[in-house]
């Protein structure tokens, strides 16, 4: 299949799955606002592996995965009807660890980024205010000066 058509079909399938969940057409209570990041479709459109994440702990992640697996047939027919596909793809839902790792790598890069000249010359005022107030209060209490607030 044409790679451009495949990319368009992948994005449209993700949009259709998201729409079905957001509109409440998926009645399973275990399925709660997953984020779908990418999809891999076989050349014959019979199989599709959908990668997702969500803001949840491990226990909720297992329930969410079970919920998505249980409604995979419904989502397959829903997508097939709305996109008028000749063959409805069989969905396999996979937790996307690579997306989580990429967020961690981005955070590490942001934390290790060198400071700009402006940041070096003008340190964060919130950090300095706390230190300056503590130093001023310490100096005032040692010298016996009372400050009016």
pLDDT per residue of the chain (149 residues) written in tens, 0 to 9: 789 999 999 999 999 999 999 999 999 999 988 999 999 999 999 999 999 999 889 899 999 999 999 999 999 999 999 999 889 999 999 998 888 888 888 888 888 877 777 777 777 766 544 444 545 544 544 555 554 54
pTM: 0.69
Q: What is the DSSP letter of 68?
A: H
CA–CA distance, 145 with 131 (Å, rounded to integer): 19
Q: Which of 66, 68, 67 is nearest to 39 (CA)?
A: 68
């Amino acid at each position: 299949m044409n790679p451009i058509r495949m990319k368009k079909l992948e994005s449209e399938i993700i949009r259709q799955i998201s729409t079905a969940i957001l509109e409440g057409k998926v009645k399973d209570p275990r399925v709660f606002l997953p984020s779908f990041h990418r999809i891999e479709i076989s050349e014959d459109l019979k199989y599709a592996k959908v990668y997702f994440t969500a803001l949840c702990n491990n226990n909720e992640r297992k329930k969410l995965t079970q919920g998505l697996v249980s409604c995979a047939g419904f989502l397959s027919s829903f997508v097939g009807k709305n996109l008028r596909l000749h063959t409805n793809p069989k969905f396999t839902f996979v937790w996307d660890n690579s997306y989580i790792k990429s967020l961690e790598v981005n955070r590490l890069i942001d934390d290790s980024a060198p400071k700009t000249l402006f940041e070096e010359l003008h340190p964060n005022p919130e950090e300095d205010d706390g230190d300056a107030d503590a130093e001023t209060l310490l100096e005032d209490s040692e010298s016996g000066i009372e400050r009016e607030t």
